[in-house]
Structure 1
């Protein structure tokens, strides 16, 4: 199969592409490298440097090879940033991806795997969250993901496409070769690892007065390799005639920010400086998945269930590549 991976040079995309190449699939990457890295592109994958806002590059992505399936990962995804730039987030996460759907129609490609988010859910819904839980995003980022989900459902009802929408919870960890290296890091685990290494100062803990056992926000962490495996299974599922589906990807257990801090300290054997800070706008107190439907529909079985094991892979990658993709 030939895959077009939009955003394939980013954190999750690089691992997805690595798994595609390892399983002897062909991967065409469309990525403008605004947040991705050229060095994160797996050997044998083909990189087209450009975005969905470039018609010529988009056309090249669909004509370099005959595409069988699109994996759409590109997005703006920082919750706090989205609160101050709702219009920009809608452009990046809704309006530009519509161009991708139009290109799929033009080139006769029907199957798409979409990277969505737990941010679509109502934070007040009972935990754990399943696919039928109430949706009510608490921030513009989640709202854009939900809007594009609805567009996919509408296009599916018209018979134009078939989709698997994967609602990620908090993706963590690294593969052997590909890891997390954001410009202006915002994700908790790499920030804590940097602090443990003395590469940055104390890590802010945003919110210590949430209605949780220790007052800090609780999240469900899922390993990036398991997320990548779910994409391959989703593509196979559609290729074999499976119906369109929306599925959660999580470990089905929660960890508070303070619990993650302690886990990083255990794995690294180092103290991690933190500083208590006010809540951030748009952050829900608790998000925990029920991902049994992904197990049932895709036969997905996460390899990494324990938080410490996820952190160990991030720690190993950071030690191998202390400067990230700049090394």
Structure 2
């Protein structure tokens, strides 16, 4: 039973790994739509099963593992990764146990239980839930599904990037929100040599930014409005390796810009996303990333597990926000 939880040098993924993942999960995940507005392409991964891109990696990890023991699968998650693993496990008729921090959003915990997962609330940080999940998987012989730092997980997430290129006919730049770096790694590997990837991070959770500055993944303090989905305290090894290989750069955005972007997505386009899901768009709206004239830009909207009552920004009103380009 494969239970390795740390990435190694040989685990760095390539375009071919993402292509193999796409073939493996075909028919299991949604081919989410794209649309162009204000000179920007939006990839609507918030419409994926369980409300985030993470279903892609969960299916790829479980299918690639082959047969599972009666212990099923185990995950540690602030919410979205756990939802994806629980959903995929239910589809295959296997048990899922998900460890989450005690302060995880109630809406996500409720959805985990609705999907049939056993939910264990442990500690106040993702690291606490992670340690408990790793121990449980080892003790019971369950398949551990990492939230962002396993080759199969990253390759699965990258299938969204392959779809994006096919659906748009090609773009120059893709803006991707970064937490632990699984989506970043997958998309950057998927589009390597065909598009540039910009990692967008909350200033309150700069894992990629800190790793690039230090030359290796390092621990950072995490807080802010998107901490429940982008709250990893350290960039994954795979994310760092792929980012440095492919020339990914990082831009930072304030929490207020994230909330304004989230409100703008709702008010302008009726797209409901969580703060982490709006983070990539915040880079355009706030001017943290300024496209060159004629540059074809895509934004990956990555999650929708949120309380709809909070969609209106308490800061700048959306009509006064900058329209990209």
TM-score range, shorter chain: 0.3 to 0.5
The TM-score with structure 2 as length reference comes to 0.33
- The structure carrying a bigger helix percent of its residues is 2
Task: Give TM-score, length-normalised by structure 1.
Answer: 0.33
